[in-house]
A and B are shown apart, each in its own frame.
Chain A
């Protein structure tokens, strides 16, 4: 069910400000693609343009093409809500719904969309999603408790469970481990490894080791200076990027000479 993503000549704007310029890339299905680069270079903006979350901010818009499985996301006849059902997202900070229990949080994607599900089917979905997110063992005895009562790492895995419960084609992760301790980070990285057999995963990370550990391909974004648009510098297999990158800028960034 995973789909590949083709991006061509994508320009992303905040109002009049061009934030990301001329991105061309192909994100392969059933693999992990990491986006790296210095702060403010447009990685997160680019990620958010992949499920039309970018336009939630007033004035933000995009031109260019994003194709998922041959369908253009920015076609005027496309409903952004449908896109977001197909492309799930995990955010930087864990954001479980505070009014809902753990159980309801996992089901939020269905319940909020008013899908009628039988109790047995719902139990099944919750168990499957929580097991997939490596959280089942820790919370199976307190599914009725509020999601906010979990630790940060558990909350983040709950958010991942919530995102995969709706069975998206693609999972976008915006620095999912930046607010977590090393143990929770490692749990989530293991989870990413397991999830890539079913999902196309795109992950933004500031942690180069993490990119090297979890991803098949890596895209390096850079920015020429403040106020200039971010650009995709290089996209290659992770192995190549971290050993013999094509671009000198990539090498400089990875070896820590700037950024």
Chain B
């Protein structure tokens, strides 16, 4: 028996609760950013690197330096947080680089081409000194896309209504959903070949018309319209459908008067986005709508040029550059056409936002 030393029962000491920890100052990321740029410049200039090299060096310095500083001053968790935040920002910036560069280049080279002649004359001319423009392609793009939308939007919306309101859980609906998913991925040239073969089977081997192009584009649009409409209809709460049924409203009328108006904002937002997706398609239109230098207002017969096809062909056959230097006339036209096309897509996207806001259900605030 050893002498047991009786230790007095320990009074449970309350652990001092400190909320304060050393933190990096608020301006730390900016400071490190400036430091990183300085580092990149120093290294880059001394080793004669170009601008991208300097920027990459600066980014690497930033991603290493800020977490390191944080690890020294703060703690591990904060350092990991700084590291991840830096990486996310870096990824964002990297994603923006090609986008801004593309838009900048198109604006830089395309915008100067735009003038009233460029927008109101076609490529058709009888002597070399007459002015040319993209009017015929602009009209072609607008008409073909409008007809494509006229075909695809009703089919897409009705298909989505079937899938959500009638076909829930049945096998046909499952099959359609699967095929729609597959269709979102079909290459545009395949859609073009389908429309092309349909067209020549119907109207003979030499038939060309804008409407054939519309069919090809509609094939590409339908899955997008179905998808976006489906998502919007799914968002309409079942409560509303039941409220309507409980008032003795038949199903079809519930869909027309309650479900569709509630989802309208989203549905009409999806349409311009689907159009924006197909307005730049080249391959199917090259096949089936063909190429012409004249303005054709009739989608039902004869060839029709669209902007993407014009850009492609002008670029392929640029002509002779002017004697004093500068862009070949075809290249200039292609840049101008690309600029107009991008403006159209941007306008469609903005329109989608505005339309979505106008049709969204009002909350009364």
List A75-113 residues whose CB lies under 8 Å from chain B. 81-86, 88-89, 91, 93, 95-99, 108-109, 111-113
Residue contact B245 to A53, C-beta cutoff 8 Å: yes
Contact with A along B240-263 (1 / 0, CB 8 A): 111111111110011001100110
Contacts of A88 in B (CB 8 A): 246-247
Report the separation of the CA atoms of residues A166 and B243 in the bound assembly, to the nearest whole angstrom. 13
Report the separation of the CA atoms of residues A93 and B238 in the bound assembly, to the nearest whole angstrom. 11
- Chain B contact residues (Cβ within 8 angstroms of A): what range? 20 to 34
List A44-88 residues whose CB lies under 8 Å from chain B. 51, 53, 56, 58, 81-86, 88
Q: Does A182 contact B (CB under 8 A)?
A: no
Given contacts A91-B239, A95-B239, A114-B253, contact A148 B364 (CB under 8 A): yes
Residue contact A166 to B245, C-beta cutoff 8 Å: no
A selection of 25 A-B contacts at a CB cut-off of 8 Å is A53-B245, A82-B248, A84-B245, A84-B247, A84-B248, A85-B247, A89-B246, A91-B243, A91-B246, A95-B242, A95-B243, A96-B243, A97-B243, A97-B244, A97-B258, A98-B363, A109-B247, A109-B249, A113-B249, A145-B364, A146-B363, A146-B364, A159-B243, A163-B246, A163-B247
Contact with B along A131-151 (1 / 0, CB 8 A): 000000000000001111110
Residue contact A112 to B362, C-beta cutoff 8 Å: no
Given contacts A58-B169, A112-B257, A113-B249, contact A99 B361 (CB under 8 A): yes
- B interface SS class: helix
On chain A, the number of residues with a Cβ less than 8 Å from chain B's Cβ atoms is 35
Contacts of B364 in A (CB 8 A): 145-150
Q: Does B23 contact A (CB under 8 A)?
A: no
A158 CB to closest chain B CB, in angstroms? Answer: 11
Number of A-B contacts (CB under 8 A): 94
Contacts of A43 in B (CB 8 A): none
Besides A99-B262, A162-B247, 5 other CB < 8 A contacts?
A84-B249, A95-B240, A98-B240, A148-B363, A149-B364
Contacts of B365 in A (CB 8 A): 149
Q: Does B237 contact A (CB under 8 A)?
A: yes
